[in-house]
Amino acid sequence: MKLSAQDLEEITRVTLLHYEQNAESFWQGTRGHDVSQNIAALLQHITGEPPHVILDFGCGPGRDLKVFTALGHAAIGVEGSARFAAMARAHSGCAVWQQDFLRLDLPPQHFDGVFANAALFHVPAQELPRVLRELHATLKPGGVLLSSNPRGHNDAGWSGGRYGVFHDLEAWRGHMTAAGFTELTHYYRPEGLPREQQPWLASVWRRN
């Protein structure tokens, strides 16, 4: 069933409210998460000499912005939650643009890489083609996007006050290729565990 404009606004409002109300506990619970595998997967596929210009899409409180900066890259965050955006600026010292994921305003052909770690699954499936095209457009030609999402069987709904869509690999491939990306690699996380204990699907894509 197609979501109405009012449905989409409510999904955004309630999901962001959850993060606003739980910003500190979220930060304490995630600040030590090791996503170095994802960061390395993005950076190793970007061509050209560093430093690179990286968009951290859904940067949260800024954990990964700080890592990209420490590695010598120029990182900018996009974040829907006002509290997270403020926390990310304070923690990382980077520019953070507060933007609704469904109302993005991104510069064309600006970024070498987009790091979308645990963010794009919040975008309702009917809006995902447009959002992916906007991310495609903000990448430089040949730029690279990494996505990491909790996987599922293409079901959507509410979990703990947040809306999410849980794609499988084939559905995600369909969305990404339709938006103009070519797959470079994919893998499941956390690494080294049996597949049933790997809830995250990560994939790396190049702008055609």
Q: What is the mean pLDDT of residues 97-123?
A: 98
Name the nearest CA neighbour of 55 among 13, 104, 127, 11: 104
Q: What is the mean pLDDT of residues 81-97?
A: 98
pLDDT greater than 90 at residue 109? yes
Q: What's the confidence (pLDDT) of residue 186?
A: 98
Q: Using omega within 30 degrees of 0 as the cis cutoff, is the peptide bond preceding 61 cis?
A: no
Percent pLDDT > 90 in the chain is 99
Model confidence at 172, in pLDDT bands (50, 70, 90)? very high
> Which tens digit of pLDDT belongs to each residue from 113-167?
999 999 999 999 999 999 999 999 999 999 999 999 999 999 999 998 999 999 9
Instruction: Show Cβ contacts of residue 165 under 8 Å, excluding neighbours closer than 6 positions.
Output: 121, 122, 123, 124, 125, 128, 154, 155, 156
Element (H, E) at 178: helix 169-178
Q: What is the mean pLDDT of residues 91-105?
A: 98
3-state secondary structure of 194: coil
Rounded to a whole number, what is the distance in angstroms from the first to the last CA of the chain? 32
- In whole angstroms, what is the distance from residue 127 CA to residue 102 CA? 7
Average pLDDT, the chain: 97
Q: What's the confidence (pLDDT) of residue 4?
A: 98
Listed by start position, the domains of the chain span: 5-207
Q: What is the mean pLDDT of residues 43-50?
A: 96
pLDDT greater than 90 at residue 1? no
Q: What is the mean pLDDT of residues 29-35?
A: 93
What is the CATH code for 5-207?
3.40.50.150
Tokens in use for 119?
Answer: 């963010």
